[in-house]
């Protein structure tokens, strides 16, 4: 969840690190800090709040003639797990002697035990409430007798359990960063006469496009001229260079007020790209690099789709479409539940993990649990080279480009696109859909980016509605079939960025309890895009309208019968029932965005959230 950046070279490390941290702020933003090796010691600046607070502190110091310059340093942007957001708990953390500083992402599970040992044996006084400080203190102790920083770091890692990536500098072994990865992302960036480390690619895009992806259990030792990688037994490792294809612009706002809005508008292009990457010259789906033969598919008895957050409703759409087209039973589960419930998985199970970041710890743990039971693992992932991607048998990349806003939009709709492509491919290979149906649905899918671009040309009505409705303190989302999946995603989007208490439910289920909450004026967003369920949905709308609810309906263009029962209707372009989730979610994303804007919320960085959740 936290972001890490490190630099060794000939530039002012502080500037490179600050710049990198700003690009990683989406990973966590409750405090930030930088440590530099300077004049034979380690110096730290840390500040609670957003990175601009740290920047202000450094600017003030520099105006007062206090220098904070060096060629070697590490920085951190935090998402608190152990210890409240505060200056003291902000990273970097130093050891007691002040010769070692660390930045850390993840959790040291045995930190209580280590803290006790260090206090008892070495009379260490801990300054912060964090688990991370034990890393610094431990390395500081080992550094007393070690010949190099990497020796001390290696010794410390033997004592630690948990999931982490951390980076260390020391005044006793200057001009060097040592970093270790265990179940949290870590990369090393290759420069000329300078090198970098980071938790994520966007931090380094301005400086280098060639990186090494550090694997689990590995330690990387970075100086200005060398990057050496070692496995968990300290054997040197040779790693292929990974060439990043994104450019800096893809990770910038490009004139939009927020990343979220930019990413909403990028959806037509992102969906088109996800489809185009999977089509051959004749316009058929080809799953290059994914070896799902007819025999493989025929052998699958059950599919589990497992995900967290927004990726979960993408899985619900996946279930609907795979069962419809490929006739294989599909179960969808949230990863944090799946991993602890001893699910019925065997060699005939296909496990599909959906994850934008590819680093979500629960999803990764669920994937490992399924793999250990013999399942074949296919992942739908946005971040190339991420942990989920690397640990899967096959990867279906979403090609959404970097998604920076914490609230997922283009990653979500490209995940849906992958679900359609996969289901179509499975159905055709297994012969469970006719050639005619295959081509008709694929052609309709290819029309979606154009329809979405048309829709996005004028969305003023959503903005106007948000201006009227933003003061509500409770909103319900209802729908049937695929519309229910979209309702879950629309509700999640609204609550996470506007902090309005929102709740989604299958419309037919309302009368079994939730309808008790309907009162005059209760705001209900009704999804009524399924032709096959239109009449049923109209009845549900009538039921809530009869209780005085304020009904805002999303319907397909032309379906005007809802108008009589609705206070307002948002029309999406007409399309086949199966494909509506790709269009109907967009007004809901915009509604959440506009409401959050009216309420003055921090849209790209909602409180308590982080882009990549690498803790349980």
Query: Tell me, what DSSP letter sits at residue 129?
Result: S
Residue 459 Cβ vs ligand F6R, minimum distance, rounded to whole Å = 19
Q: Is there a contact between 580 and 550 (Cβ–Cβ < 8 Å)?
A: no
List, in sequence order, every beta strand (DSSP E) within 321-393.
330-334, 349-355, 376-381
Q: Cα–Cα–Cα angle for 239, 243, 244, nearest 5°?
A: 130
Query: Tell me, what DSSP letter sits at residue 607?
Result: T
Residue 77 in the binding site for ligand F6R (CB under 6 A): no
- Chosen residue from 419, 613, 614, 615 binding ligand F6R by CB under 6 A: 613
Residue 223 Cβ vs ligand F6R, minimum distance, rounded to whole Å = 33
Residue 407 in the binding site for ligand F6R (CB under 6 A): yes
β-partners of residue 219 are 180, 230
Residue 404 in the binding site for ligand F6R (CB under 6 A): no
Residue 408 in the binding site for ligand F6R (CB under 6 A): yes
In the region spanning residues 289 to 308, those forming contacts with ligand F6R, defined by CB under 6 A, are 308
Q: Catalytic pick from 209, 451, 597, 611?
A: 611
Residue whose CB is nearest to ligand F6R in the complex, by number? 309
Cα-Cα-Cα-Cα dihedral sign, residues 264, 269, 273, 275: positive
Nearer to ligand F6R, 492 or 504 (CB): 492
Cβ neighbours around 295 below 10 Å, total: 8
Closest CA to 406 of 610, 607, 591, 615: 610
Give kind and range of the element (H or E) at residue 502.
strand 501-506
Residue 274 in the binding site for ligand F6R (CB under 6 A): no
Residue 311 Cβ vs ligand F6R, minimum distance, rounded to whole Å = 4
β-partners of residue 551 are 524
Residue 360 in the binding site for ligand F6R (CB under 6 A): yes
Whole-number Å distance between alpha carbons of 604 and 446: 30
Query: Tell me, what DSSP letter sits at residue 285?
Result: B
Residue 426 in the binding site for ligand F6R (CB under 6 A): no
Residue 367 in the binding site for ligand F6R (CB under 6 A): no
Q: Cα–Cα–Cα angle for 432, 436, 440, nearest 5°?
A: 105
Residue 403 Cβ vs ligand F6R, minimum distance, rounded to whole Å = 8
Whole-number Å distance between alpha carbons of 127 and 97: 12
Residue 198 Cβ vs ligand F6R, minimum distance, rounded to whole Å = 17
Nearer to ligand F6R, 222 or 407 (CB): 407
Nearer to ligand F6R, 143 or 504 (CB): 504
Clarify whether 308 is annotated catalytic. no
List, in sequence order, every beta strand (DSSP E) within 217-280.
219-222, 227-230, 236-237, 242-243
In the region spanning residues 482 to 501, those forming contacts with ligand F6R, defined by CB under 6 A, are 492, 496
Residue 393 Cβ vs ligand F6R, minimum distance, rounded to whole Å = 18
Candidates 194-202, 355-363, 435-443, 590-598; binding stretch for ligand F6R (CB under 6 A)? 355-363
Clarify whether 611 is annotated catalytic. yes
Residue 357 in the binding site for ligand F6R (CB under 6 A): yes
Residue 589 in the binding site for ligand F6R (CB under 6 A): no
Contact letters for ligand F6R, residues 452-481 (x by CB under 6 A): ------------------------------
Residue 386 in the binding site for ligand F6R (CB under 6 A): no
Closest CA to 424 of 410, 413, 412, 435: 435
Nearer to ligand F6R, 100 or 400 (CB): 400
Residues in contact with ligand F6R, counted by CB under 6 A, come to a total of 15
- Chosen residue from 171, 363, 498, 584 binding ligand F6R by CB under 6 A: 363
- Chosen residue from 70, 612, 614, 615 binding ligand F6R by CB under 6 A: 612
Residue 309 Cβ vs ligand F6R, minimum distance, rounded to whole Å = 2
**Residue 365 in 3-state DSSP?**
helix
Per-residue b or e along 457-482, where b marks 16 or more CB atoms closer than 10 Å to that residue's CB: eebeebeebbeebbebeebbbbbbbb
Residue 310 in the binding site for ligand F6R (CB under 6 A): yes
Whole-number Å distance between alpha carbons of 595 and 185: 34
What does the DSSP assignment read for 146-201? -SSHHHHHHHHHHH--EEEEEEEEETTS-S-EEEEEEBS--EEEE-SS-EEEESSG
Where on the chain is the footprint of ligand F6R (CB under 6 A)?
308-311, 355-357, 360, 363, 407-408, 492, 496, 612-613
Active site amino acids: 2, 611
């Amino acid at each position: 969840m936290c972001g890490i950046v490190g630099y060794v070279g000939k530039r002012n490390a502080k500037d490179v690190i600050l710049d990198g941290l700003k690009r990683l702020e989406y990973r966590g933003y409750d405090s930030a800090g930088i440590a530099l090796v300077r004049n034979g010691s380690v110096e730290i600046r840390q500040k609670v709040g957003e990175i601009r607070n740290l920047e202000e502190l450094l600017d003030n110091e520099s105006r007062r003639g206090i220098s904070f310059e060096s060629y070697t340093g590490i920085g951190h942007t935090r998402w608190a797990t152990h210890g409240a957001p505060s200056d003291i708990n902000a990273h970097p953390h130093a050891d007691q002697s002040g010769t070692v500083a660390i930045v850390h992402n993840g959790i040291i599970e045995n930190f209580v035990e280590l803290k006790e040992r260090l206090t008892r044996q070495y009379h260490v006084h801990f300054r912060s409430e964090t688990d991370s400080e034990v890393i610094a203190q431990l390395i500081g102790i080992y550094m007393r007798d070690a010949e190099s920083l990497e020796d001390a770091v290696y010794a410390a890692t033997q004592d630690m359990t948990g999931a982490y990536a951390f980076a260390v500098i020391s005044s006793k072994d200057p001009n060097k960063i040592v970093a270790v990865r265990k179940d949290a992302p870590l990369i090393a960036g290759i420069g000329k006469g300078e090198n970098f480390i980071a938790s994520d690619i966007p931090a380094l895009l301005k400086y280098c496009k060639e990186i090494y992806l550090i694997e689990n259990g590995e330690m990387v030792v970075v100086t200005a001229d060398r990057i050496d990688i070692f496995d968990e037994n300290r054997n040197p490792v040779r790693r292929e260079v990974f060439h990043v294809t994104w450019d800096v612009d893809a990770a910038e706002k490009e004139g939009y007020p927020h990343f979220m809005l930019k990413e909403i508008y990028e959806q037509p292009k992102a969906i088109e790209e996800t489809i185009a990457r999977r089509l051959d010259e004749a316009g058929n789906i080809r799953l290059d690099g994914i070896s799902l033969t007819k025999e493989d598919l025929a052998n699958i008895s059950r599919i589990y789709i497992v995900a967290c957050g927004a990726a979960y409703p993408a899985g619900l759409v996946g279930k609907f479409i795979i069962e419809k087209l490929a006739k294989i039973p599909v179960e969808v589960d949230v990863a944090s539940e799946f991993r602890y419930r001893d699910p019925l998985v065997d060699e005939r199970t296909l496990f599909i993990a959906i994850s934008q970041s590819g680093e979500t710890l629960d999803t990764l743990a669920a994937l490992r649990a399924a793999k250990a039971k013999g399942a074949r693992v296919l992942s739908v992932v946005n971040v190339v080279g991420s942990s989920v991607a690397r640990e899967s048998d096959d990867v279906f990349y979403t090609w959404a480009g970097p998604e920076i806003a914490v609230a997922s939009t283009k990653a979500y709709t490209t995940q849906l696109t992958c679900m359609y492509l996969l289901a179509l491919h499975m159905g055709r290979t297994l012969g469970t859909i006719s050639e005619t149906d295959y081509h008709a649905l694929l052609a309709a899918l290819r029309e979606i980016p154009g329809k979405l671009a048309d829709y996005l040309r004028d969305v003023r009505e959503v903005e106007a509605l948000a201006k009227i409705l933003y003061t509500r303190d409770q909103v319900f989302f209802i729908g049937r079939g695929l519309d229910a999946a979209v309702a879950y995603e629309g509700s999640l989007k609204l609550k996470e960025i506007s902090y309005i208490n929102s709740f989604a439910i299958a419309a037919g289920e309302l009368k079994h309890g939730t309808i008790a909450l309907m009162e005059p004026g209760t705001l209900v967003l009704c999804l009524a895009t399924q032709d096959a369920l239109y009449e049923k949905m109209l009845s549900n709308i009538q039921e809530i309208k009869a209780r005085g609810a304020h009904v805002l309906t999303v319907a397909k263009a032309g379906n005007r019968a809802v108008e009589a029962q609705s206070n307002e209707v948002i029309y999406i372009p007409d399309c086949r029932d199966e494909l509506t989730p790709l269009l109907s979610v967009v007004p809901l994303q915009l509604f959440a965005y506009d409401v959050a804007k009216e309420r003055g919320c921090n849209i790209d960085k909602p409180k308590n959230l982080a882009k990549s959740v690498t803790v349980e």
